[in-house]
Amino acid sequence: MAIQWFPGHMNKAKKAIAERIKSVDMVIEMLDARLPASSENPLLAQLARGKPKLKILNKQDLADPERTAVWLSHYNAQTDTRALALDASDNNATAKITRACREMLPGRNGIDKPLRVLIFGIPNVGKSTLINGMTGKKSAKTGNEPGITKAEQRLFLADDFWLYDTPGMLWPKIIVEESGYNLAASGAVGRNALDEEEVALELLDYLRRHYLPLLQRRYQADKDPSSHWQDTEWLEWIARRRGAVLSGGRINYQKAAENVLTDFRDGQIGRITLETPQQWADWFKKARQKEAALKAEREARKAARKGHTQET
Ligand code: G4P
């Protein structure tokens, strides 16, 4: 399944971000700690190339702590990049973020040289929650100001620390199939752009392979035979346990899928991360190979068409 989601307003947001990025000193990229690489917007990563970057792995309370540690080391090893794990309950978020940014750019301070930071992230990553917590009493939001478009907002975290907030956005084409599923499972993709049953089955398939004990505990499935169940058997089991059964005993797959997705999003199954740096690298490689093969196929067809036209 290819999950595609790029409504018109996201195009506008993209243009505003592309313009603003030119005049900021660094960017904060908010990622979902449960799917760090999948929640990284390649479009914006490209626009922000060359700028120092603070990656916030947000909603860490829902993610697997061991995997979060792996992701943090992975990002902290990259040049001009720092990474922090946060969640909405962290009262020190502002201090942690401003300290990390100032450490990255110690030369930018004082009102003559304010540190200008742009923050972006996918929808639902928790950016509004974080910013609302940060702005509290300490800072003021700017109103209608020349040079500040409707699609962005400038916040003064200190006289010499400006934060440009931008609307959450996805990108037009998600080439890594697994990323599409992970984004959908996390709740970043609008409901009408996805098939919940398919997303739930993919999620169950990942969970049964990587988090089986959590799945067994949440849905009270005995070790034997559930250790051997495939995704559909899991969905059917969950449907029966949750009463998602239609007249005549038929399984209500849609309702069961909604149950699984809600449980995952609320952290009811446990603290789960849907990808590791290695897994993501493998998926990315596979997706690139698939794209290249498709391109070669298209070109071969085009060449064959041309040859055919020249012959006739
Ligand atoms: P956005 O601006 O990036 O789109 O995200 P927003 O802050 O609106 O947060 C999206 C959802 O994620 C909200 O839940 C919010 O409460 C929840 N959230 C934000 N940060 C965290 C976090 O660190 N941990 C967890 N577990 N959840 C977080 P909602 O169900 O859409 O709304 P509500 O429950 O707040 O009413």
Residue 5: the pLDDT is 56
Own/partner pairs, 147-151, CB within 8 angstroms, 24+ separation: 149/16, 149/19, 151/12, 151/13, 151/15, 151/16, 151/17
The reply to whether 7 falls in a domain is yes
The reply to whether 112 falls in a domain is yes
The reply to whether 272 falls in a domain is no
Evaluate the CA torsion angle 131, 134, 136, 138 in order and state its sign: negative
Distance 160 CA to ligand 1 centre (A): 28
Name the CA radius of gyration of the chain, rounded. 22
> What's the CATH code of the domain at 163?
3.40.50.300
Distance 226 CA to ligand 1 centre (A): 33
Ligand 1 interacting residues, C-beta cut-off 6 A? 58-59, 61-62, 87-88, 121, 123-129, 168
Distance 118 CA to ligand 1 centre (A): 20
Q: Provide the token pair at 14.
A: 């993209």
Own/partner pairs, 202-205, CB within 8 angstroms, 24+ separation: 202/178, 202/231, 203/260, 203/261, 203/264, 203/274, 204/231, 204/234, 204/235, 204/260, 205/230, 205/231
Atom of ligand 1 nearest to the CA of 122: 3
Q: Which residue range(s) make up the domain with 51? A: 3-173
Atom of ligand 1 nearest to the CA of 127: 3
Residue 150: the pLDDT is 59
The reply to whether 220 falls in a domain is no
Q: Please state the pTM of the whole predicted model.
A: 0.91
Residue 145: the pLDDT is 52
Cα end-to-end distance, the chain, whole Å: 39
The pLDDT tens digits of the residues spanning 47-94 come to 999 999 999 999 999 999 999 999 999 999 999 999 999 999 999 999
Domain count, the chain: 1
Residue 94: the pLDDT is 92
Regions in the chain scoring below 70 on pLDDT: 1-9, 137-151, 312
According to DSSP, the β-strands at 53-58 and 26-32 are parallel
Q: Pick from 124, 125, 183, 189 the residue to mutate for probing ligand 1's pocket: most ligand atoms within 8 Å of its CB.
A: 124
Which residue minimizes the CA distance to atom 34 of ligand 1? 266
The reply to whether 184 falls in a domain is no
The reply to whether 303 falls in a domain is no
Residue 136: the pLDDT is 72
Atom of ligand 1 nearest to the CA of 267: 26
The pLDDT tens digits of the residues spanning 138-178 come to 444 444 455 555 567 888 888 999 999 988 888 888 899 99
The reply to whether 262 falls in a domain is no
The reply to whether 52 falls in a domain is yes
